Amino acid sequence: MIIDHPYLGPRDAAEFVYKGDAELLNRPDWHKTKTQQSIFHDYLYLRKNPAGNHKELWYHEQGDRSWLVITRNTITHEILKVELVRDYLEKQSNGK
């Protein structure tokens, strides 16, 4: 699988390490109330296993050590979008 890094161009997936669902970037604040402890429990232990398009966290361990959010089809392994985590979070905070 080839990952088209935003800065470095096409790279072999062997340079990267899969780190999980990109939803991990949306960590809940478990200090707010006791009722949210179940929300934090779900964040830690419950994961989706979708078939189809999925946003994933990848770390470029054998390269520039950047963190990426890769939108990938879990059935075909086709990579639909690659973006830096910084840019992904900025888009989320702007409501895009």
**Mean pLDDT over the full length of the chain:** 88
- The pLDDT tens digits for 38-66 are 777 788 788 778 899 999 999 999 999 99
pLDDT band at 29 (very low <50, low <70, confident <90, very high): confident
58 forms beta bridges with 18, 68
- Between CA 70 and CA 21 the distance in angstroms is 10
H or E segment and range at residue 5: strand 2-5
